[in-house]
């Protein structure tokens, strides 16, 4: 009987933790949307994106759409994949950039494996997006990969062209 009570208590604690995380994300979402918070550096983006992506069990690709003062216009989880990859459609990203009249973007995705190290396809995607945005005079601020308790910023590591 004691063992089943311990299991139940642990499950209840996990549910409570999940609710706390969901409420925290909701608060951050509302602040980003209501106030148009300014992203002044990588750390601002990381703090928000980690809450959004770190616990995802599949790869999720998202975009922070920013105005000309780096204030958030909108955040979207755009593409969902598998445990190892996610298929990205550049056309869909550009459609939203234009619809929102965004001046800049930050892209991000998670690595469910926990390692934030970029793969070859991450670098290829980054270069394609960078080239496309340059043609359209839209600033590409960063590509961030979120792992478990770690991240990598392409901008910080000089990996953006």
Q: What gap in Å lies between CA 37 and CA 153, rounded to an integer?
A: 20
Distances (CA, A) of 18 to 23, 58, 158: 9, 17, 35
Q: How confident is the model at residue 33 (pLDDT cuts 50, 70, 90)?
A: low
What is the pTM assigned to this prediction?
Answer: 0.79
Mean pLDDT of the 18-45 span: 70
Report residue 102's pLDDT band, with 50, 70 and 90 as the boundaries: very high
Between residues 42 and 27, the one the model is more confident about: 42
Give per-residue pLDDT as tens, 57-74: 999 999 999 999 999 999
Q: Which pLDDT score is estimated for 38?
A: 84
R_g over Cα of the chain? 17
């Amino acid at each position: 009987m004691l063992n089943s009570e311990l299991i139940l208590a642990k499950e209840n604690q996990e549910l409570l933790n999940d609710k706390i995380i969901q409420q925290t994300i909701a608060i951050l979402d509302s602040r980003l949307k209501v106030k148009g918070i300014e992203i002044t550096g990588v750390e601002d983006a990381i703090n928000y994106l980690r809450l959004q992506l770190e616990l995802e069990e599949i790869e999720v690709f998202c975009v922070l759409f920013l105005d000309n003062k780096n204030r958030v216009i909108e955040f979207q989880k755009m593409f969902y994949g598998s445990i190892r990859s996610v298929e990205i459609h550049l056309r869909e990203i550009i459609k939203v950039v234009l619809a929102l009249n965004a001046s800049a973007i930050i892209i991000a995705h998670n690595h469910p494996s926990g390692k934030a190290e970029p793969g070859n396809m991450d670098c290829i995607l980054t270069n394609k997006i960078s080239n496309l945005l340059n043609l359209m005079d839209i600033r590409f601020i960063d590509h961030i990969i979120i792992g478990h308790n770690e991240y990598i910023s392409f901008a910080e590591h000089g990996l953006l062209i």
